[in-house]
């Protein structure tokens, strides 16, 4: 949708309108850059002053900020940021990864395509693959044998989906992502590595979004499983047999080792590293650069790592850490002397 009447937008958002409902909105912009015909939003009261010079045709805000918006038509909602997300979806101008079926696409005769499927230039759809209705496959993608992609899921250019992988409906996969490559499975025979064939697959639920250049490995015997509503950022590594529960969010650069189970509604901060063969409970939050070496059994916020310091301060901190074992021994010796008295 390229434009919408403000009264109709208010109805869509469940908003209370203050001002002219006949204004036509053609886009969403920030308060500092918005112009006539665009709508903006205020989700943080710290930025109230920007309303004074804002040139937008309308603004979405909460009831408490309405008095600061006398010169603009306002849509009053309970959660402006959530409403921003919904109106941005409604007015989204992002192009489709592909339209129709390109002449250079290579599609096996035994592949099954639903209605209104689009496949970009030089994409390859192998035998037995099943694409649901309204699936969009970007240019240069590879869809392996017997892979299944659900209704309305979109893949941007150069995504690789290995054989037997199952992706649910309403998903979005950004460019360069690889789903279903072999997990890191080897046995050692007198110093030589013997490869273990990875015979499981990857099963991804509905409404899952996966960022660019992320890798999700197939299982060794059982499957790697990504639940419904999971969001995964760019450049993450998810090893074989990892299970991620519904609606968990994983920020960029996270590394997950094999056979890890993460619960529902978790949040994993960027650049975190999580050990394998353990469980993280529902509603756990790991802040950025967290190193998770043990199971998390209680919901809450967990952190590790050392915040940035000047190099001089860091050298002192590092020296203390390196000497902490010796300091502990000396402290215990002092405690023994005190107890002896």
Residues with active-site annotation: 240
Strands 186-189 and 192-195: antiparallel
The Cα 175–Cα 154 span in angstroms is: 11
Q: Give, for 204, the enclosing helix (H) or strand (E).
A: strand 202-204
Are the CB atoms for 281 and 243 separated by under 8 Å? no
Instruction: List Cα–Cα distances, 181 to 69, 139, 163, 178, 237, in angstroms.
Output: 53, 20, 9, 7, 11
Q: Which residue is associated with the tokens 């649901």?
A: 132
Are the CB atoms for 124 and 141 separated by under 8 Å? yes
Q: Nearest CA to 163 among 175, 185, 146, 181? A: 146
Half-sphere exposure of 225 (CA within 13 A, CB side): 14
> What spatial distance separates the first Cα and last Cα of the chain, rounded to whole Å?
82
The Cα 213–Cα 237 span in angstroms is: 9
Are the CB atoms for 62 and 72 separated by under 8 Å? no
Q: Give, for 3, the enclosing helix (H) or strand (E).
A: none
The Cα 56–Cα 40 span in angstroms is: 6
Tokens representing 154 are 């979109």
């Amino acid at each position: 949708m390229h434009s919408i009447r403000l009264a109709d937008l208010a109805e869509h958002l469940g908003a209370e309108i203050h001002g002219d409902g006949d204004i036509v909105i053609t886009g969403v912009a920030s308060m500092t850059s918005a112009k006539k015909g665009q709508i903006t939003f205020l989700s943080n009261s710290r930025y109230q002053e920007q309303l004074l010079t804002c040139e937008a045709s309308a603004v979405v805000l909460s009831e408490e900020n309405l008095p600061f918006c006398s010169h603009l038509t306002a849509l009053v909602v309970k959660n402006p940021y959530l409403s921003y997300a919904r109106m941005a979806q409604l007015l989204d101008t992002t192009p489709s990864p592909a339209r129709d079926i390109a002449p250079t696409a290579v599609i096996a005769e035994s592949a099954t395509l639903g209605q209104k499927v689009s496949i970009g230039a030089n994409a390859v759809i192998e035998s037995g693959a099943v694409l649901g209705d309204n699936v969009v496959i970007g240019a240069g993608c590879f869809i392996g044998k017997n892979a299944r992609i659900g209704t309305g899921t979109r893949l941007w250019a150069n995504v690789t989906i290995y054989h037997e992988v199952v992706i649910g409906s309403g998903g979005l996969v950004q460019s360069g992502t690889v789903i279903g490559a072999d997990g890191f499975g080897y046995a050692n025979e007198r110093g030589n590595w013997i490869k273990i064939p990875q015979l499981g697959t990857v099963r991804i639920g509905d409404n899952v979004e996966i960022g660019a250049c992320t890798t999700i490995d197939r299982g060794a015997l059982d499957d790697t499983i990504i639940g419904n509503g999971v969001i995964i950022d760019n450049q993450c590594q998810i090893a074989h047999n990892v299970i991620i529960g519904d609606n968990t969010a994983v920020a960029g650069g996270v590394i997950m080792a094999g056979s890890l189970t993460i619960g529902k509604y978790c949040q994993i901060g960027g650049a975190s590293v999580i050990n394998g063969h353990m469980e993280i409970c529902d509603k756990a939050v790991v802040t950025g650069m967290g190193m998770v070496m043990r199971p998390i059994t209680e919901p809450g916020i967990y952190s590790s790592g050392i915040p940035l310091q000047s190099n001089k301060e860091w050298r002192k901190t590092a020296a203390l850490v390196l000497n902490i074992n010796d300091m502990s021994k000396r402290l215990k010796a002092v405690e023994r002397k005190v107890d002896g008295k």
